[in-house]
Amino acid sequence: MTSPRELRRQQRVATSREQILDTAEELFGSQGYRATSLQRVAERCEFSVGALYQFFSGKEELLQAVMYRRGNDLFAAMRGAISPDETGVANLVAVVEAISAFFERFPSYGQLTIRLASPGEDAPKDLSPAGEGFAGALALFADVLRSGQRSGDVRPGDPAALAELASNMMTAYLRDRGSEGLTSGEFREILSRAFSAVG
């Protein structure tokens, strides 16, 4: 049986780890991976850099932990948006809307994900758009498009290439949202027309 003292220690460790992840998520999202130092994360948490190393081996591992912390919930929201009763195009739009809603709920995570998916961001390979971190989302997009092609409502073409195109369109839309960019209705229409079998 775990002693009360050990339980309190475990609770402090868990709280400290969450504080570090929250702070890193905010800084990586607002400043980018390259511009965020472990020293800055430590200062914001009122920890020493050495204390950070008790939780993470370095900046890359910290970024991975930030991304994976919310990743399962994001994928669950994406999968939950898909309906077998809807067309492939409607499901694609629903998945994009689920991602958009998730990013509104966790804005720093959204900013960070958009940064990592944008050209020019120098991030670890497995968290770049070509790496494992984004592969699951692209595979889900491709599955939705493939299903729509089978039912005849999604345009022909390689589902993986179309998924990449849909992802890039979504990234551009979400990156510019809130400025003078497209409204959600305008983007839905563009997305629907771009992938619909009947143009």
Q: How much is the pLDDT for 42?
A: 94
Q: How much is the pLDDT for 130?
A: 44
Q: How much is the pLDDT for 132?
A: 53
Q: How much is the pLDDT for 95?
A: 97
Q: Please give the Cα distance from 195 to 163 (Å, whole number).
A: 10
pLDDT at residue 164 greater than cutoff 70: yes
100-106 average pLDDT score: 96
Q: How much is the pLDDT for 118?
A: 80
pLDDT at residue 110 greater than cutoff 70: yes
Please state which of the ranges 122-126, 130-134, 168-172, 180-184 shows the lowest mean pLDDT: 130-134
pLDDT at residue 181 greater than cutoff 60: yes
pTM score, whole prediction: 0.86
**Residues 25, 109: contact at Cβ < 8 Å?**
yes
pLDDT at residue 4 greater than cutoff 90: no
Q: How far is CA 30 from the centre of its chain?
A: 15
* Structural domain harbouring 40: 4-195
Query: For the chain, how many structural domains are there in total?
Result: 1
Query: What is the CATH classification number for the domain harbouring 154?
Result: 1.10.357.10
Q: How much is the pLDDT for 87?
A: 95
Q: How much is the pLDDT for 131?
A: 46
Q: Please give the Cα distance from 118 to 173 (Å, whole number).
A: 11
